[in-house]
Structure 1
């Protein structure tokens, strides 16, 4: 399928279904899961067969013999990787190859899953898993989908047809192979009305976990950029866009921003709490239920039996607990996304150019490799870093949402500043770089001011000059007195915050 060259935006609408329609959709999603798993198994066999071939083994042996750190071997390694990629594509390991292979698996379920959904809805998901493992090295193996693990299905659009040849959008309902799924519309919503007036490229059906049952949605991919929201009472823009540069210093849990009209330090997704303790209790409850329902799977000492076929019976209590856990995680994700969107809208009111350091977030989630001894206690330091904080707060997702909003509004967007600039060590008054430990959260300025470290880094990033690749010293001296006033107001606000669990991350930085 040729990719569209026009802009695309999405509108998600809930479906108003009866029980039999929900059951029919659940059945089709389960069929899609079986097709997915069947295709994964077939492609894994093909991959193993290719890995045993002589040309592939020869290339792999040559790659292992070379060192990427050696400058003389880099060019040869690049050519070997390109040769290996060409060999993979020749054997069908590309998206179009997977779309061609799926024709052998979906035809047995043609009454429920047609060619459009299979080729353009299931095959790309299988290819995405193999692409991560083979080309991007983001995993060691491709996993099969468990029950209820397929969350979305879509077809593709054809000129003259609204929403595709299989999953078709009509004005008030979605049609899919005899199923008419009514939409829950809001006729007095001006934003929704304007979005529905555009051409529908294709329709995606979504399944999200609910408190007692799954919830179903239709996501319409529409032509053009998102409609601009207005206040229905006054007619003014609901999210006006400011002008000027904004510096962002983002961490695993907090965001410091500095603009010409404001500066503040906020906690990312402060309504998203750490649910690890609740998850641990629910997982223990599920484990007890699983052991009671499948006693033959375990030996007398509690370990899993080896060499026998295991049973996977789930009691109703287990299914209720499993749904409770899934719903808890879903609520966390939805709340985190909603708060990120609200914060991005607030940042857009401050300026139209954003400067943030280019952070390698995956590296911050990994455990430390070296074993260090604490000078205070003499004990071994913990090797964990920021994995749970990044999981709960998702700082990279905020930057992604901000970039997407800037693109849809036609703004310059987010500029990634290289970390070699060392914004956390630079002092614009002395012009010197002073390394600081991570625990030191305050900067003692030559003029006697005591400035919070993250806020000062955001102020420096605000005055980054992309042409010179450095900070602008003239503007720094000019805007510094105004920044100090904004800084004092932010610190007073944070100091007055009640010492709750959600504010602990910020108040620690004020010590």
Structure 2
């Protein structure tokens, strides 16, 4: 099949100059219909886009403090706190309505698989699905597909913005799978005595996909022969360390600020600052380097806090409330 890219598509022409190693057939279900695509696997690395800014200087550091729904990053000229995939606005009420309708349909057509109290029967069960259930399932699948595509695009753009700041990118080692698990301890609310929910960050991680962003950054760095530097979380303890006193202080999740007498510093932005100023061994903070960059960081930090307070995002405003 002849391949004829558009005449003004410089990127496609440059990519097709490399040797084609494989031709892959992809099947995708879009809006309920099966569609097939041909994907060419080229040799080497993808060509650079002329309008993309990439910092090739290894001396420019970028510290990243990534959470379940936000990311803070700090460099010489930029200090920012952003929401992960803000364009990925899923219609969760609509999804919940679809899932409730699916559950009602499944129960009405499979009454033999449920006990009188509504719980599932034990053992191997055979399920029958109505045409209404199948239509709802396709509708739900299409909604999740759109969310996944939009999230991927958003992460690719954010990764490009971070790579434009520096090529020495450092981040804490995070185990997102452990944050998704429910807590084992049973606790009670001090005010009303009710049992607290055991849910943690499963839904937030599923919606914002922080691990995907780190994978994309690492892949883009590999084009330059570099990789993402992961510091030792347990040795560094960036969220607890104070470079002025050299002491570690545990904080609650709700504590968002660090008090430095003259300055109040946002916790996530400060962690990104410390991560970016770690030693080459990646297991401790370089206090001398932090002191040398402290004044510049405070100025950039205050500018970012003023921006966040005017942000339309409720999530970002909560982090600086």
Distance in 1, matches of 2:123 and 2:245, equals: 70
Distance in 1, matches of 2:33 and 2:206, equals: 26
* CA gap 1:309/1:188 in 2 versus in 1, 3 angstroms: same
Q: For 1:13-162, what aligned pairs fall within 5 Å after superposition?
A: none
- 1:322 alignment counterpart: 137
Distance in 1, matches of 2:49 and 2:28, equals: 26
Structure 1 residue 288: deviation in Å?
A: 4.0
* CA gap 1:307/1:256 in 2 versus in 1, 3 angstroms: closer
- 2:65 alignment counterpart: 249
Distance in 1, matches of 2:13 and 2:237, equals: 48
Query: Contact (CA 8 Å) 1:452, 1:510: kept in 2 or not?
Result: yes
Q: How many pairs align? A: 317
Distance in 2, matches of 1:253 and 1:485, equals: 25
Pick one of 215, 229, 233 that aligns with 1:419. 233
Structure 1 residue 374: deviation in Å?
A: 2.6
Q: Is 1:262–2:78 an aligned residue pair?
A: yes
- 1:171 alignment counterpart: 2
* CA gap 1:203/1:471 in 2 versus in 1, 3 angstroms: same
Greater relative contact order (Cα 8 A, min sep 6): structure 1 or 2?
A: 2
- 2:12 alignment counterpart: 192
Structure 1 residue 274: deviation in Å?
A: 4.8
Pick one of 31, 53, 62 that aligns with 1:211. 31
Query: Contact (CA 8 Å) 2:85, 2:151: kept in 1 or not?
Result: yes
Distance in 2, matches of 1:462 and 1:221, equals: 35
Q: Scaled by the length of structure 2, what TM-score is found?
A: 0.90
Q: Scaled by the length of structure 1, what TM-score is found?
A: 0.58
Deviations 1:410-454 (A, max 9, x none): 23x2111111211011111122111111110000014x1000000
- 2:40 alignment counterpart: 220
Structure 1 residue 310: deviation in Å?
A: 4.4
Query: Contact (CA 8 Å) 1:247, 1:463: kept in 2 or not?
Result: yes
Pick one of 391, 410, 431 that aligns with 2:246. 431
Q: For 1:208-357, what aligned pairs fall within 5 Å after superposition?
A: 208-230=28-50, 237-241=51-55, 243=57, 244-290=60-106, 294=109, 310=126, 312=128, 314-315=130-131, 317-357=132-172
Structure 1 residue 206: deviation in Å?
A: 1.7
Query: Contact (CA 8 Å) 2:115, 2:121: kept in 1 or not?
Result: no
- 2:197 alignment counterpart: 382
- 2:314 alignment counterpart: 504
Query: Contact (CA 8 Å) 2:110, 2:128: kept in 1 or not?
Result: no
Larger Rg: 1
Structure 1 residue 397: deviation in Å?
A: 0.6
- Structure ranking higher in helix proportion: 1
Structure 1 residue 277: deviation in Å?
A: 3.1
Distance in 1, matches of 2:67 and 2:56, equals: 24
- 1:41 alignment counterpart: none
- Over the aligned positions, Cα root-mean-square deviation in angstroms equals 2.5
| DSSP 3-state at the match of 2:223 | helix
Structure 2 unaligned regions, length at least 5 = none
Structure 1 unaligned regions, length at least 5 = 1-169, 173-183, 231-236
Deviations 1:279-335 (A, max 9, x none): 22112323444566x4685679577789999463542x4443222111100111111
- 2:224 alignment counterpart: 409
Query: Contact (CA 8 Å) 1:257, 1:264: kept in 2 or not?
Result: yes
